[in-house]
Structure 1
Amino acid sequence: MSSTRTDPTPDRNDASTGKAVTSSHTVEQHNLHEGGEPHPAVIARDISVRGGEGPVYGPLDVTVPGGGLTVLSGRGGGGRTALALTISGRMKPRTGTLEVLGETKPSVIRKRVAIAGVDDIDLLDRDVRIRVILTEHRAWSAPWIMWAPRADRDYYESVCRPVFGERDLPPLDAYVSQISGLDRLLIRIALALRPANGEEVGMLVMDDLEQVHEFDDRLILVTVLSRIAEDIPVVVNAVNRLPDDFLPDHTLIELFTDASHLQPSHAGSDLDRIHRIAKEAEL
Structure 2
Amino acid sequence: MKSPRIVIIEDEAVTARNLAHLLQLIDEDIAITAILNSVSESITWFNLNVGTYDLIFMDIRLADGISFDIFKAVSITKPVIFVTAYNDYAIQAFKNNGIDYVLKPFDEQEIGNALTKFKNLFSLGEKDINTGRIELLLEQINQISKPYKKSFLVHYREKLIPVEAAKIAWFYTANEVVYARTIDDKQYVMEFTMDMLEQQIDMQQFFRANRQFIINRQAITEVDFYFNGRLAVKIKPEPAERVLISKARVPEFKNWMNK
Larger RCO (CA within 8 A; separation ≥ 6): 1
Flag the structure with higher strand content.
2
Q: Structure 1 length as normaliser, TM-score?
A: 0.22
